[in-house]
Structure 1
């Protein structure tokens, strides 16, 4: 079959190579999501697949012709200009592995290079694609290179038609070099490649480009469509500071020149985009189709299927047990979509039902207990907000001239009856009082929020650490603005635990208002801001200033996988004006704006887990502890498990950094590292550039701490706040996202109704049925692991990511340590003395188990923020 091709090649004394590549994924996410309806999307997918089958032979034939050419570049022999000598153009030859099935991926090709001995050792290569369609270049491997043996070139990049590039695409071998150690013949190539990646900061970016640049968050609104959809610019100003996002260069809106126009397909540097045989392509396709097609159809169907509100807790449980019967036309549109196939019953009932959330799998009412309410503050979805209470009553940092006196109205009389004979002073002295404080970030926005269909309170919850290690809520304060104006201070009411009668129902509602605030803070701050948004500038700065052969680039690369893509998708359908978040969470149209206000207090160094625990006062320094801190709440699942993961990450980074940097002077002399850090601070997080807490990046200690913190944020922290969304929040009674009415007051009809039908009143106040369907549909997707997820301690490129043996061995030790940690965490969860680890809901804390299977598993730490 290949004789016509191979006969053209005079092999002689050549270097033999193998090129591995992947043709364009036929299930291309951008093509699929361009359809306008659920049925249209499915039809589009079928069309793409059919077209791909028809062109498989043509594509293969093209590869076997003169369509892909490579040229080796010497790392040891330079031309007159001082750059490494470039070898002769060589074309791919025959396929040496079986043709992959549709969408399966990789094909391998022979290639033979003419390479005289005076050309030295190859260290890079150029590649040219003469076809119209792009392909994903996985790697080149050279065999039997004189005095070198095998040389690997990890590529993992999309290659488009050569005419689209201003300079040839270049790839380097897996040897790792600090800038000063780079072989002289390759230095210019290294510098030129970084110039290409930085671009010139002008023009609208095109799909094939690989340019990394910064912009502010000015694409959330759509003022040209409707004035109601205008949103303030986040970033670049002191009012709403924000991390930078990737620049797309789209035209400004006509209505507001400071805002960027929106489009369905958002530019990403090509290698940041999904499309590499990743099943999360399909997850994201589902997410996008759900938000644009499925959810609107489900919501429009509600009036056709009966009640548009829940009447009882049993109604809510029917979402998982009985389902919602849908009209035939809705079913026909939705049933072909893979995710929704799982949601449809197959017993002839044709109802839509959701998986049973873990929080009610064992006990349907455990979520109502005070113990579970408190336990989730240290082992739930938002486990890193609770703080030790050091002053009583709790204080506020809000400006008194603007917002009056916001000192808490919780008194000793409110709490001391629940402290088991201990005084407030004694409890504070012994670190027994804690607080979940959702007051200051929310109060300045309450007047605005309460003018909408939602009704909110700023909340403070005081908790007592009991002798059995569990937390007990002892008081909840609900505060709303004074009708005379915010500057008059809040009107506050304090509620204390009661289990019986109307007062018991009031207490249950008070807890619900707290959880609504916690749900919003979790989604917009703990999750979106503190993981997704703050990491994106690191990705941009890394690619602009750290070469692919730089050791720190190689260290951090796995922890960037797919983050820019999921962030772009979020700006399009999740955090945009009247998107999923604004439509279903209390903060509404102020959601991202409020996260910007909280970002004013963000400090990178405080994101390291030990520093975070110390700042919140839930731990104290202890040199005898393995991690340098001792927990005040000994049975604190998130913190205890997190410290194990943090310790493993830091040890791995310490070994890695020590291998490449033999002194602090090497850090200072690393021109790429210094340029990376300067731009990250001054541009990527430029609204905070004048804050003194930034590390100076002058020592190995600073580099280790910074890289460890970044890896922690992108892996374990994100896992802790993301993959429990459906297990905890899939049961809307446990994690409501909205409050639609104020607390019933004595003498009101609602108060009287509490005695007759407390469940109905509760449901009328929290998230409604329409918003619940939206929430469940989205968070189930966001809580799933893809089949090809890469978890902490794993790398997708095996051992070929570096040519240095010591870092590879250190990484293997890191992986083995994580396996040991997982076994330790399993043992902890089997210790029934640790009541916070399983709680009334019998729901062991597994979110920081490093490994996972595919799907909705409630465990697993991916390397990166990939969903």
Structure 2
């Protein structure tokens, strides 16, 4: 299969951190014991839906002392030297991925962007308003945990700056990524379509369905089931409370003030990507998106962090040494050939940095004993309304079915991304969990 065929058949995928990180390469390199590259990693999709890496491209722009750009591609390799170079390059990419995951996917898209929704909901909606009651559980503890994060995690000289790739430029990177943020891409289906991981189609009934580019994609497979359960619950809820008049949504002054404040006060820098709020359909999508970000999105990017990142060699958070092929040092190459593992150890975080990251991942991945999981307890006001009570029970039933479906998928030996030797069963979207580190459980809100 040639490249043109692979592209046409959607068999090539790229993990692209080149443009995001390149502006920070020289800045980070001026900090002692830290380095950075722009990176791209190319993957090929096998017929069994597993991804195989084809190569890593690392790029360093012109910097002080070296006016020429340096760029090199590292394939997985077959001989010992190339295999070790691949390991070094892979460690760099993993540190980039850890950085973007923490600062953009986790902190920005979940924690930060939920704050304006929580504030506007409390400022603009009465506690008796049905949308307040619908969304209120999804804001539990979010403001408090964000305050703690600003104090200890992302603060100047804090854990993130000390232990992640972009160092003291971490918050700046998050702010830069925010410029590309759009509300209409935060719901799971739209996110998948935007990233080329799904295609939107219409079934015979006229309902949107999503065909995944990678059929065995556990996050998307399970996430879409959770999204659908949320969507159906929100749909029945909104249709019940806004059933009386065709213009009930657009004439709801509290609701309109709420949506306006989210845009004008909460996210004033973002001018694109805001859906209208004029119909029940608009409200259903907006409310479902907010509920998803606080529950399914955050759970999937947070509670598996210790499982994957707690063992630092598996997912280093920072790289401290340049690729030896960048400088072509004769002595450096000799040391590398004699003891390549020492070069890898020098690239990894220090023991102090590794310990901080492990402790942080441990705490972030832990469910508290008072966690409130999605669909657990019905709000008292809903229990008094038979229609809403029935809809909530249907929601709970779908969540129980989701748990069973996830178990079924994890036992399917044809699904190589979730079943096989050494493969961790993907259970992040299972709604309920015991306290502690389980890798399971979807709380209502961003509570840790």
* Band the TM-score falls in, shorter-chain normalisation: over 0.9
Whole-angstrom distance in 2 between the partners of 1:484 and 1:449: 13
Q: Contact 2:242–2:280 (CA<8 Å) still a contact in 1?
A: yes
| Change beyond 3 A, Cα 1:664–1:758 | farther
**Aligned twin of 2:395:** 814
Whole-angstrom distance in 1 between the partners of 2:213 and 2:296: 22
**Aligned twin of 2:174:** 595
Q: Which of 506, 513, 518 does residue 85 from structure 2 map onto? A: 506
Q: Which of 699, 703, 706 does residue 283 from structure 2 map onto? A: 703
- Pairwise CA distance, 1:502: 1.5
Alignment of 1:245-284 (within 5 A): none
Gaps of 5+ in 2: none
| Change beyond 3 A, Cα 1:865–1:479 | same
| Change beyond 3 A, Cα 1:743–1:664 | farther
| Structure 2 residue matching 1:630: 3-state secondary structure | strand
Q: Contact 1:627–1:647 (CA<8 Å) still a contact in 2?
A: no
Instruction: Looking at secondary structure, tell me which structure has more strand per residue.
Output: 1
Is 1:657 equivalent to 2:238 in the alignment?
Answer: yes
Larger Rg: 1
Residue deviations 1:110-133, cap 9 Å, x none? xxxxxxxxxxxxxxxxxxxxxxxx
Residue deviations 1:746-798, cap 9 Å, x none? 54433323333222211101211110111111211111001121111123x65
**Aligned twin of 2:303:** 723
| Structure 1 residue matching 2:392: 3-state secondary structure | helix
Please give the TM-score of this superposition, normalised by the length of structure 2: 0.95
- Pairwise CA distance, 1:866: 0.2
Residue deviations 1:249-285, cap 9 Å, x none? xxxxxxxxxxxxxxxxxxxxxxxxxxxxxxxxxxxxx
Is 1:847 equivalent to 2:416 in the alignment?
Answer: no
**Aligned twin of 1:623:** 202
| Structure 2 residue matching 1:475: 3-state secondary structure | strand
Alignment of 1:765-844 (within 5 A): 765-795=347-377, 799-800=380-381, 803-838=384-419, 841-844=422-425
Whole-angstrom distance in 1 between the partners of 2:393 and 2:167: 46
Q: Contact 1:750–1:761 (CA<8 Å) still a contact in 2?
A: no
- Pairwise CA distance, 1:840: 5.1
- Pairwise CA distance, 1:491: 2.2
| Structure 2 residue matching 1:779: 3-state secondary structure | helix
Whole-angstrom distance in 1 between the partners of 2:174 and 2:442: 25
**Aligned twin of 1:446:** 25
Q: Which of 266, 279, 284 does residue 684 from structure 1 map onto? A: 266
Whole-angstrom distance in 2 between the partners of 1:749 and 1:801: 72
**Aligned twin of 1:475:** 55
Alignment of 1:104-123 (within 5 A): none
- Pairwise CA distance, 1:508: 0.9
Whole-angstrom distance in 2 between the partners of 1:474 and 1:850: 36
| Structure 1 residue matching 2:57: 3-state secondary structure | strand
Instruction: Looking at secondary structure, tell me which structure has more helix per residue.
Output: 2
Is 1:427 equivalent to 2:6 in the alignment?
Answer: yes
**Aligned twin of 2:190:** 611
Please give the TM-score of this superposition, normalised by the length of structure 1: 0.50
| Structure 2 residue matching 1:865: 3-state secondary structure | coil
Whole-angstrom distance in 2 between the partners of 1:543 and 1:761: 53
- Pairwise CA distance, 1:848: 1.2
| Structure 1 residue matching 2:202: 3-state secondary structure | coil
**Aligned twin of 2:162:** 583
**Aligned twin of 1:414:** none
Whole-angstrom distance in 2 between the partners of 1:437 and 1:846: 27
- Pairwise CA distance, 1:541: 0.2
Q: Which of 428, 431, 441 does residue 860 from structure 1 map onto? A: 441
Is 1:462 equivalent to 2:29 in the alignment?
Answer: no
Whole-angstrom distance in 2 between the partners of 1:534 and 1:734: 29
CA RMSD of aligned residues (A): 1.7
Whole-angstrom distance in 2 between the partners of 1:459 and 1:811: 46
- Pairwise CA distance, 1:803: 3.2
**Aligned twin of 1:186:** none
Q: Contact 1:851–1:860 (CA<8 Å) still a contact in 2?
A: yes
**Aligned twin of 1:276:** none
Q: Contact 1:799–1:808 (CA<8 Å) still a contact in 2?
A: no
**Aligned twin of 1:749:** 331
Is 1:527 equivalent to 2:109 in the alignment?
Answer: no
Gaps of 5+ in 1: 1-421
Alignment of 1:93-104 (within 5 A): none
**Aligned twin of 1:763:** 345
Whole-angstrom distance in 1 between the partners of 2:330 and 2:426: 41
Query: How many matched pairs?
Result: 442
Q: Contact 1:652–1:810 (CA<8 Å) still a contact in 2?
A: yes
Q: Which of 229, 247, 256 does residue 674 from structure 1 map onto? A: 256
| Structure 1 residue matching 2:324: 3-state secondary structure | coil
**Aligned twin of 1:647:** 228
